[in-house]
């Protein structure tokens, strides 16, 4: 079982399954959405995800194409992503411990922030990964 939660601890979740497709997107939208140099995000099976506490403290923002983010309204941590209101993935920064998954690719590195240095040796794509 994988668990995660927000910075203040009011929001917690569990995943009875595995994370998959962990990736980091360096586009300007993800920088804003994740308040960081890039996103760090992995997909979950929606029916393996459940809230342990604090679901009522979540607020959300839906951007284009039905994708959204949910965050703790006390501390502001972005805890998960949604697609058409259903949990779609989690932010790796809010996962507890070792979820036994590694970021497999860095995408949209051509749009990275001027101040970011991408480590050598990582799998990277200038824009979207090949299908």
SS3 33: helix
How far is it, in rounded angstroms, from Cα 1 to Cα 10? 19
* Between 17 and 128, CB nearer to Zn ion: 128
* Between 19 and 25, CB nearer to Zn ion: 25
113 binds Zn ion (CB under 5 A): no
Q: How far is the CB of 87 from Zn ion (least distance, A)?
A: 17
The region of 3-11, 63-71, 98-106, 116-124 touching Zn ion under the rule CB under 5 A is 3-11
| 56 class by beta-carbon count within 10 Å (0-12 exposed, 13-18 middle, 19+ buried) | exposed
- Of the chain, the end-to-end C-alpha distance in Å amounts to 30
101 binds Zn ion (CB under 5 A): no
Binding stretches for Zn ion (CB under 5 A): 6, 8, 10, 25, 27, 30, 72, 74-75
């Amino acid at each position: 079982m994988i668990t995660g939660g927000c910075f203040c601890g009011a929001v917690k979740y569990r995943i009875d399954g595995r994370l998959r497709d962990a990736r980091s997107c360096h586009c300007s939208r993800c920088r804003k959405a994740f308040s960081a140099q890039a996103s760090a995000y992995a997909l979950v099976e929606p029916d393996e995800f459940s809230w342990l506490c604090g679901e009522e403290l979540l607020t959300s923002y839906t951007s284009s194409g039905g994708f959204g983010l949910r965050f703790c309204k006390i501390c502001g941590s972005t805890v998960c992503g949604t697609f058409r209101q259903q949990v779609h993935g989690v932010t790796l920064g809010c996962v507890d411990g070792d979820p036994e998954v590694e970021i497999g690719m860095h995408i949209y590195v051509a749009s990275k922030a001027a101040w970011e240095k991408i480590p050598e040796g990582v799998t990277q794509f200038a824009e979207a990964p090949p299908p």
